[in-house]
Amino acid sequence: QIATQISVLIAKVARVDCPRQWPELIPTLLESVKVQDDLRQHRALLTFYHVTKTLASKRLAADRKLFYDLASGIYSFACSLWNHHTDTFLQQICTGDEAAATNSLERTLLSLKVLRKLTVHGFVEPHWSVEVMSFLHAVFERLKQFLECSRSIRAENVCRDRLEKTIILFTKVLLDFLDQHPFSFTPLIQRSLEFAVSYVFTEAGEGIVFERFIVQCMNLIKMIVKNYAYKPSKNIEDSSAETLEAHKIKTAFFTYPTLMEICRRLVSHYFLLTKEELAMWEEDPESFTVEETGGDSWKYSLRPCTEVLFIDIFHEYNQPLTPVLLEMVHGLQGPTNMEDTSAVLIKDAVYNAVGLAAYELFDSVDFDQWFKNQLLAELQVSHNRYKPIRRRVIWLIGQWISVKFKSDLRPLLYEAIRNLLQDPDLVVSINKSCFGSHIYDFEFRTDQFLPYLESMFTLLFQLLQEVTQCDTKMHVLHVLSCVIERVNMQIRPYVGCLVQYLPLLWKQSEEHNMLRCAILTTLIHLVQGLGTDSKNLYPFLLPVIQLSTDVSQPPHVYLLEDGLELWLVTLENSPCLTPELLRIFQNMSALLELSSENLKNCFKIINAYIFLSSSEFLQMYASDLCRSFCELLEDITTEGQVQVLKVVENVLKVNPVLGPQMFQPLLPSIFKGIIDGERYPVVMSTYLGIMGRVLLQNASFFSLLLSQMARELGQELDQILSNVIEMWVDRMDNITQPERRKLSALALLSLLPSLN
C-alpha cells in the first residue's frame, strides 16, 4: 500500500513536471525495470505504470503530442518487457514453481497495464504502427495460452485470482482500443469475433471460461455489432472506404448459421435462470426481485450483458433471426409439464427473448391472440413450480403493452394482475415493473381501471407492509404513486390506510434516503389526489417538508428536489395559509443563497405564498426576501433576474400599497436600469412592468422614489422624469405581452395633467 501511494505521488509530480522539468524520470524508470533485484524491479514497474497512466490522461494538445512522442520512443521496450515477463511466467507454471510464477505474473500484469495505456492513448493512427498491430495480434495468442493455463491452476491456488485479472486485462486492451480507434481496429474485427464467439458460444470455452471473461467477450461482440463507425449510410456513396470495409467483414462473419447458433445459445443457455438464482428466489425473494438493470450494468454483470447483446444482435439482424425465435415460441405452445423444471426454465427464457425483442417482432406476432389463447391461461396456473412462468408472462405483457395490445383486453389483464397480487409467492406478487408499465401506458383508460381500484390498492398496500427491504418498498411505493397519479381525485376513499402508514415508514427509513425520496414522490401524488383535503395530512406533511428543504440537515442532499416539489404542491392545494405553513418558509433564505438548479421551484413557492395570503406573508418575510433578492440580482443570469423581478411584480399586483414600501431597496436599481437603457429586452420589459405598477397604483410612492433618485444622481426632478419617459416611450417595442403594453400606456397617461 505504501509503495502504491509513493508511486501515485511520483505520478502526480510527473503530470506537472515531466518531461520538461524532469526529463530524467522516464530513462531512470526504464533502467530500473531492467535490474535483477525482484523488489526494486517490481517497485520500478509499479511507478512506471502510474506515471504512464497519469501522462496518458492529459488532454491538452501539447501534452498529447508529448505523450505520442514518449509512446513511440518506449513502445518497443515495453513490448519486449511484457513478452519477457509473460514467457517467464508460463515457463514457471509449467515447472510448478508457484512462488516464482506469482511474482512473474505480477510483473506481467503491470507491464501489460503500461502497454494498454501506450497502445490506446499513445498513437493518433495506431494501425500504421507495425509494433502496435503486432502486439494486438499477440494478445489473442497470449489469451489462449493464459486460458489454457487456467485449466491447470486450481481455484485455491494463489495465482488464480491474478491470472483471471490478467485475462480480463487482455480483453480490456481490445475493448479500449476498439472504443478509441474503431477504424484502426478493422484488421482485428474478424479475429475478435472468431475468438469471442468460439469461447462464449461453442464447446471451446467449456471448463476454462469464467463469468467476468464471458461478459467481456460479449461486450466485444456487442461493440462491434453496434459500432456506428461500421454502419454504412443509406446512400452507400456517402460512406467512407473504412466503414464499407468494416461492414463487409462483419457481414461475412455473421452468416445465418452463426447468427442462429448465437441466438439459440443466448436464449437456451444464458437466459436460463441459474441454480443460484432459483436458490435466492426461495431463500431471499426480495433480493431476487431487485434486478441489475439500467445504466452500465451490462458492462459488468452477466444477465444484463446477455440481454443487451441479444437486443443489439436482434435489432441488427432481425430478418434472419425472427423466424428462429418464432420457431422456438411455437415449439412451446400448449401446457408445460410441471415436473419438468428444464422445460419451465426454457419457456421462461424464450418468453424473455420475445419481451426483449418486442419492437422488432411487431409485424410478426399477433400478441392479442397470443394473450387470449395462451398467456392468460398461463397466468391462471397456480402450481408452485409454474411461478417462473407467471412472473415472466406478466413481465412480457408489460414489454408488449406499449407496442401492441388492444384496449378492450385491459379489463382481463387487470383481473389477472389482481390475482397475481394475491399470489403466495412474493417474487410473483412483487413483480413491480410490469404493473407500473401497464398503468403508465399511453392508452390507459381510468374508467376501465376503476372497478379494480379498491381491491388493487388494498393489495398493494398489504404488499408494502409485508416486504422488508428498502429497494422493494421503493418499487411498491412507485406503483402506488402511479395508481394515485392516474386516478387522481378518485383515490380519496381508499387512501386512509396509506396515510396512516406513511409516517411510520418515514420514521423507519431514517437511514435510507432513497426510500424517503420514494415516500416524498408518493406524498406529491397523494396531495394532488386529495386536493384541499390534504390539509388533514399537515401534522405529518409539514415536518417532512421542513426536514427535506433544510440545507443545514445532511439528508437535504437527497431530499431537496422532491421536498421542494412537495412544498409547492402542498401550497397549490392549500385552502388557506396556516401558521405552520408560514413557519417552514424560514428555510427559503438559505435555499435562495444556494443559487442552484432548484431556484425556479423556489420562485414558484414564493409566488404561491404571495397569492395565498400576501399581507400576512409579507409582514413576516418581506425584509428577508428583499435582502435575498438584492444579493441574487448581483450574481445571476438574465433569466434568473427576470424570475426574481416577476416575483416582485406579483407582490405589487396583490398588494399595491404595501408592496412598493416592502421592496423599496430593490426599486432604485430598477429605476436606474430604465434610465440607462437596459440592453436585454426581456429584463427591460419587466423593469417597465414593475415601474408601471408603482406609478399607476401608488403615485405618491412613485413621487418619493423620483425625489430619491434625483438626489442620488444629482439631477433636477423634471430632468429625471423626462429621461424616464423618453426611455420608456423609446423601449415600448420591447414589451411583447398585451397586458404589459396596456399597463405601460395607462401608467404614462396617468402622468398627463388633468383639468380636474
Instruction: Render pLDDT for 224-275 as a digit per residue (tens, 0 to 9).
Output: 999 999 999 988 888 899 999 999 999 999 999 999 999 999 999 999 999 9
pLDDT of the residue at 578: 93
**Distances in whole angstroms, Cα of residue 29 to Cα of each of 24, 40, 135, 185, 593:** 9, 10, 22, 31, 51
Q: pLDDT tens digit string along 378-428?
A: 998 988 899 999 999 999 999 999 898 998 999 999 999 888 888 888 888
678: DSSP letter:
-
Q: 19 preceded by cis ω (within 30°)?
A: yes
pLDDT of the residue at 756: 46
Q: How many CB atoms lie within 10 A of CB 345?
A: 18
Domain ranges for the chain: 1-184, 495-628, 637-756
Q: What mean pLDDT comes out for the span 169-178? A: 98
Q: pLDDT tens digit string along 95-117?
A: 888 888 999 999 999 999 999 99
pTM score = 0.86
Cα–Cα distance between 46 and 29 in angstroms, integer? 10
Name the 3-class secondary structure at 182: coil
Q: pLDDT tens digit string along 278-328?
A: 999 999 998 888 776 667 888 899 999 999 999 999 999 999 999 999 999
pLDDT of the residue at 38: 81
Helical H runs in 18-157? 25-32, 38-56, 61-95, 98-121, 130-152
Q: pLDDT tens digit string along 459-495?
A: 999 999 999 999 889 989 999 999 999 999 999 999 9
Give yes or no for residue 755 having a pLDDT over 80.
no
Percent of the chain with pLDDT over 70: 98
Cα–Cα distance between 474 and 471 in angstroms, integer? 5
575: DSSP letter:
S
* DSSP element (H, E) containing 708: helix 699-713
Cβ-count burial 6-22 (b if 16+ within 10 Å, e if not): ebeebbeebeeebbeee
Cα–Cα distance between 691 and 693 in angstroms, integer? 5
pLDDT of the residue at 436: 65
pLDDT band at 754 (very low <50, low <70, confident <90, very high): low
The greatest distance separating any two alpha carbons of the chain, rounded to the nearest whole angstrom, comes to: 117
Sequence letter at residue 248: K
Q: DSSP letters of 614-675?
A: HHHHHHHHHHHHHHHHHHHHHS--HHHHHHHHHHHHHHHHH-TTHHHHHTGGGHHHHHHHHH
